[in-house]
Amino acid sequence: MTFTIVFLIAFIASFGLRHWLAQRQIRHVAKNRESVPTEFAEKITLADHQKAADYTIAKLRLGILENGVSAIVLIAFTLMGGLQILNFALLQWLGEGMIQQIALLVSIALISGAIDLPFSWYKQFQLEERFGFNRMGKKLFFTDMIKGIALAIVIGTPLLWAILSLMAKAGSLWWLWAWAVITGFSLLMQWIFPSFIAPIFNKFKALEDGPLKTQIEALLQRCDFASQGLFVMDGSKRSAHGNAFFAGMGKAKRIVFFDTLIEKLNPGEVEAVLAHELGHYKCNHIRKRLLVSFALSFGMFALLGWLSTQAWFYLDLGVMPDPYGFNGGLALALFMLVSPVFSFFFTPLSSLASRKHEYEADNFAAEKSSAQDLISALVKLYQDNASTLTPDPIYTAFYSSHPPAPLRIANLARPH
C-alpha cells in the first residue's frame, strides 16, 4: 500500500496544480480583457484583444473539463480495477501470450481515443468554429481519424510486438534493447515522415517561382542551409491558423509553409519567420531536443525495466500480475498510465529550456533577416491566432514554450 499512497499524493497534487494554474490564467486574462497592453495599443484593436481573451478562456475551461475526465479515467483504470478487469477479460478470451498483451495495449488506446473523441469534436466544431478558425468539414474529421487509426495499426503493432518480444526474451537488460529500438524508430520516422506520412493527410506543392521564393533562397544561402525543397501545405482545409516548420533530417530536410501563413504575411515577414525556424536548426536546438528526449527515454525504460519486476508496482495500483506468466503488456500499460502523473512536475524545466531556445532563435532571425519584420509577423500571428497578450506569469513559467509576447517583442526591439 505504500506506493498507493505515493501515487495518490502525486495524483492529487498534479490534478490540483493543473486546476489552480488554469484558474489563475483565466482570472488574469479576464482581468486584462478590457484594455490592450500599451505597447500593442497601435497594432492590436480592442476587439481583437477581447477575442483573444475569450478564445484563451474558452480553451482553458475545456481543458479543465478534460483534466477532470482524464483524472477519473486514470483512477478507474488503476485503483478502481479497470485495468485488472480488462486484462482478465482478454485472458479469458485470448488466453496467455503475446496476442493478449498486444490486445490489452490496443484496447486501452481505443478506450482512451473513444473518451477523447467528444472533446476533439467539440473543440473543432464548436470552439474553433465559434472563433472563426475551423475550416474542416465533418467528413475530413472522420477521414483523418480513420487514417490515423490505420497508421497506428500498421506502424504501432509491429513496434509493440518488437518491444514485448524483447521484454519476454532478452533477459534483465531487455529495456536497453527496447530503448535502442525506440530510438532507431524515432530517427527513422524523422526521415520518412515528410516524404511518406505527411502526404497522407495533406497536399504539398513546391513554392512557386517569384519574389518570395527568391527572397527565401537568398536567406538560405546567407544561412548556409541546404534543404530538399520549399513546400506549401494546404493547412487551410483544416484551420485558419498559420505556421511554418522543418520536417525530416539530413538530406531529407524540407521547409514547409502553411498556405494560411503565406496569405497573411508579406514576403519580408515570411522570410523573418523562416529565419527564426532556421535559428532553431543553426543553434542546434533540434539536435539538443532529440538528445534530451533520447536520454529521458533511456531513463524511463531503465525505470520500467526495474518496476516491471516489482510485485508492489502492480498490486499497489489495483492490478494482479500473473506470477508465472508474461506481464510485459500489463507493465507497459500501467507505466504509460501512471508515469505522466509524476513527469508532470518537470514541465517547468522543459518550458524554461524551450523559452531560452525561442529567444536564441529570435536573435538569429534578427541577425540574418529583419527584427522589425519578425516583430510585425509576430503581431499579425498573435492577432490572427487569437493568442493572448496578457498571460499569467506563473502559468507562463510553468507551461509556456514561448516567451510572452511583450517580452519577446521587447527582446527583438533592442539593438542586435
H or E element that contains 363: helix 347-368
Q: Considering the domain boundaries, does residue 274 fall inside one?
A: no
Q: How many CB atoms lie within 10 A of CB 26?
A: 19
Collapsed DSSP state (helix, strand, coil) of residue 206:
strand
- The answer to whether 261 and 244 are in contact (CB under 8 A) is yes
Quick: pLDDT tens for 195-225.
Answer: 889 899 999 999 898 889 999 999 999 988 8
For residue 384, what pLDDT is reported?
A: 87
What is the average per-residue pLDDT within 84-98? 92
Q: What is d(CA 308, CA 398) in angstroms, rounded to the nearest whole number?
A: 31
Q: Considering the domain boundaries, does residue 321 fall inside one?
A: no
Q: How far apart are the first and last CA of the chain?
A: 58
Backbone angles phi, psi at 308, to 5 degrees: -65, -15
Range(s) of the domain holding residue 79: 2-197
Q: Considering the domain boundaries, does residue 306 fall inside one?
A: no
Q: Considering the domain boundaries, does residue 341 fall inside one?
A: no
pLDDT band for 161, please (50, 70, 90 cuts).
very high
- Comparing CA positions, the residue from 59, 105, 79, 28 lying closest to residue 327 is 105
Quick: pLDDT tens for 362-386.
Answer: 999 999 999 999 999 999 999 888 8
Q: Considering the domain boundaries, does residue 376 fall inside one?
A: no
Range with top average pLDDT, 20-29, 223-232, 273-282 = 20-29
**Rounded to 5 degrees, what angle do the CA atoms 270, 280, 185 make?**
115
Q: Write the DSSP assignment of 122-179 as a string of letters.
A: HIIIIIHHHTT-B---HHHHHHHHHHHHHHIIIIIHHHHHHHHHHHHHSGGGHHHHHH
Active site residues: 277, 362
- Comparing CA positions, the residue from 120, 65, 112 lying closest to residue 86 is 112
What is the average per-residue pLDDT within 340-364? 97
Rounded to the nearest 10°, the torsion over CA 106, 112, 115, 117 is -80
Amino acid occupying residue 140:
L
pLDDT band for 252, please (50, 70, 90 cuts).
low
For residue 416, what pLDDT is reported?
A: 64
Q: What is d(CA 413, CA 416) in angstroms, rounded to the nearest whole number?
A: 9
Quick: pLDDT tens for 34-67.
Answer: 999 988 988 899 999 999 999 999 999 999 999 9
What is the average per-residue pLDDT within 102-119? 96
Quick: pLDDT tens for 21-38.
Answer: 999 999 999 999 999 998
Q: What is d(CA 50, CA 36) in angstroms, rounded to the nearest whole number?
A: 9
Longest dimension (CA), the chain: 71
Q: Considering the domain boundaries, does residue 50 fall inside one?
A: yes
Q: What is d(CA 165, CA 217) in angstroms, rounded to the nearest whole number?
A: 48
pLDDT band for 292, please (50, 70, 90 cuts).
very high
Quick: pLDDT tens for 399-409.
Answer: 999 999 899 99
What is the average per-residue pLDDT within 290-299? 96
Q: Considering the domain boundaries, does residue 29 fall inside one?
A: yes
Beta bridge partners of 244: 257
H or E element that contains 244: strand 244-247
Length of the chain: 416
pLDDT of 271 strictly over 80: yes
Per the structure, how many domains does the chain have?
A: 1
pLDDT of 187 strictly over 70: yes
Q: What is d(CA 315, CA 86) in angstroms, rounded to the nearest whole number?
A: 15
Q: Which amino acids are annotated as binding site for Zn(2+), given as ranges?
A: 276, 280, 358
Number of H helices, E strands in the chain: 19, 4
**3-17, 139-153, 173-187, 233-247: range with lowest mean pLDDT:** 233-247
Quick: pLDDT tens for 303-347.
Answer: 999 999 999 999 999 999 887 778 899 999 999 999 999 999 999
Q: How many CB atoms lie within 10 A of CB 49?
A: 24
Collapsed DSSP state (helix, strand, coil) of residue 257:
strand
CA dist 268 → 214, 230, 279, 365, 404 (Å): 11, 16, 16, 12, 23
Q: What residues contact 359, with CB distance under 8 A and at least 6 apart?
A: 403, 408, 411
Mean pLDDT, the chain, rounded, equals: 92
Q: How many CB atoms lie within 10 A of CB 29?
A: 22
CA dist 361 → 67, 365, 381, 394 (Å): 32, 6, 17, 23
pLDDT band for 230, please (50, 70, 90 cuts).
confident
Q: What residues contact 373, with CB distance under 8 A and at least 6 apart?
A: 268, 269, 271, 272
Q: What is d(CA 318, CA 4) in angstroms, rounded to the nearest whole number?
A: 9
Collapsed DSSP state (helix, strand, coil) of residue 91:
helix
Q: Considering the domain boundaries, does residue 231 fall inside one?
A: no
Q: What is d(CA 150, CA 156) in angstroms, rounded to the nearest whole number?
A: 10
